[in-house]
């Protein structure tokens, strides 16, 4: 459920400049994760830090594989 919830939040962020700005203004990864979880919960999308880290790892893998 967490991964699906994160994906719903990710899609919402892509459509909402206010959410993008709120996440962009985080100073480091830990703050980004905490802020994303907070904003996700405020928008009915509950996910964990591990869900977010796994999504970030998958995105990095996909990006690297494009260049191999």
What's the pLDDT tens digit per position in 1-54? 788 999 999 999 999 999 999 999 999 999 999 999 999 999 999 999 999 999
> What b/e string do you get for 1-28 counting C-beta neighbours within 10 Å, with b at 16 or more?
ebeebbeebbeebeeeeebeeeeeeeee
Residue 67's pLDDT is 85
Q: Would you call 51 exposed, middle or buried from its count of C-beta atoms within 10 A (0-12, 13-18, 19+)?
A: buried
Residue 21's pLDDT is 96
Residue 68's pLDDT is 79
Residue 11's pLDDT is 96
């Amino acid at each position: 459920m967490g991964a699906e919830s994160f994906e719903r939040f990710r899609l919402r962020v892509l459509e909402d400049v206010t959410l993008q700005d709120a996440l962009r203004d985080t100073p480091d990864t830990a703050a980004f994760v905490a802020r994303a979880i907070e904003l996700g919960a405020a928008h009915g999308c509950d996910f964990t830090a591990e869900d977010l880290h796994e999504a970030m790892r998958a995105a990095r893998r996909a990006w690297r594989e494009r260049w191999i």
